[in-house]
A = this chain, B = another copy of it.
């Protein structure tokens, strides 16, 4: 192969690192790929670290030790996350998206790849230090954002179902009380999906009273899995006390009870810190 120039190496490295967020690549991997010396690669990485910082494209971190190397995390400044969520809140607020019964239409937001990717990255940024082994969500609407959160964390996604399915094999079913309706619901997860002793991050689209979230926490206990965090796209302002603790939602919603109901949606307070 022809000698590869620094600009070529760095561009390729940027693509490879950012395509596998939170995965550690060894220096040797890149040395071999580019036929370059370790000292050269270290210099490349130093420059690249500044580039992602300058252009607010995330973070490049050097990890020392036996399993060391370099990894990319799509984490940006809190202020820029807040601005992004604020722009979504503006889009969702008003009369147009309020449905009969006081529900909000935002399925389009929840399945637009670029939007759920950014929301997933913002949620993931809060849980890197908690080192989850997988992300858990409950079908259906939270799947896209949960997938993108899992992608940013470099871990698998696990999907709980409303009933056991023949193609999931033997499963653990639990019953839980839906917090808002008070109904008894069922949640099912394949036995093969997770392993005892793992750490779960729960991600879902919506939290009101937190009954479903509590169900997911209980489900994880059945598997002897610990829950390291709970993240949501949308939380309702009322009830302010949820049936789970320490949850983080991106947006907080209130719908006025007027003749013409209006949705008032704001970025969650923790995004302002």
Contacts and interface: CB of A to CB of B under 8 A. Distances in A.
Interface of A: 6-8, 10-16, 18-20, 33, 47-48, 50-52, 54-55, 57-58, 99-101, 103-105, 107-108, 111-114, 116-117, 139-141, 143-144, 147-148, 150-151, 154, 156-159, 161, 166-169, 190, 192-193
A98 to B, nearest CB: 10
- Of residues A15, A141, A148, which shows the largest number of chain B Cβ atoms within 10 Å of its Cβ? A15
B104 A51 contact: no
Contacts of A154: 113-114
A161 B141 CA distance: 10
A111 B167 contact: no
A122 B256 CA distance: 46
Number of this chain's copies in the assembly equals: 2
A8 B51 contact: yes
B192 A105 contact: yes
Contacts of A15: 14-15, 18, 52, 55, 57-58
Query: Which applies to chain A's interface (DSSP): helix, strand, loop or mixed?
Result: helix
B57 A193 contact: no
A157 B58 CA distance: 25
Nearest to A21: B113
A99 B144 CA distance: 27
Given A16-B57, A140-B139, A169 B6 contact: no
Given A10-B11, A15-B15, A157 B112 contact: yes
5 contacts: A12-B55, A16-B57, A113-B151, A114-B154, A140-B159
Pairs A-B, 3 closest by C-beta atoms: A113-B151, A7-B7, A111-B157
